């Protein structure tokens, strides 16, 4: 029971950090993007993934307020990462029978 409590405390802390710190994210391009725009080679960039990202621009779609949309995107991104980590932890847990 004690381990479970720490997991929930860690998740709550991570969700708070993901939601609150994303509100402070700058809407301006980072250093590499800015230099690429200034030097004129930004248009030559090739997307790494051909698909549409799940939260383009780190904004939750359908929400007019960009701060709220960014905070919700940070919250959901943290929750998704936690779910993936739990899945990997479950799949790799000791004592799990393989091939049965």
Domain locations in the chain as residue ranges: 15-22+57-92
pLDDT at 88: 92
Record the pTM: 0.66
Distances in whole angstroms, Cα of residue 76 to Cα of each of 58, 59, 67, 79, 99: 10, 11, 14, 5, 34
Residue with the bigger pLDDT between 57 and 86: it is 86
pLDDT score recorded for residue 99 = 58
For 19, residues 6+ apart whose C-beta sits below 8 A from its C-beta are: 71, 72, 74, 75, 78
For residue range 69-84, what is the model confidence (pLDDT) as tens digits?
888 888 888 899 999 9
């Amino acid at each position: 029971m004690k381990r479970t409590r720490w997991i929930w405390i860690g998740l709550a802390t991570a969700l708070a950090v993901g939601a609150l710190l994303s509100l402070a994210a700058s809407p301006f391009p980072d250093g590499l993007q800015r230099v690429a725009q200034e030097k004129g080679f930004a248009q030559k960039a090739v997307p790494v993934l051909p698909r549409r990202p799940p939260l383009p621009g780190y904004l939750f779609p359908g929400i007019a307020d960009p701060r709220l949309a960014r905070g919700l995107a940070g919250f959901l991104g943290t929750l998704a990462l936690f779910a993936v980590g739990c899945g990997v932890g479950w799949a790799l847990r000791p004592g799990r029978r393989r091939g049965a």
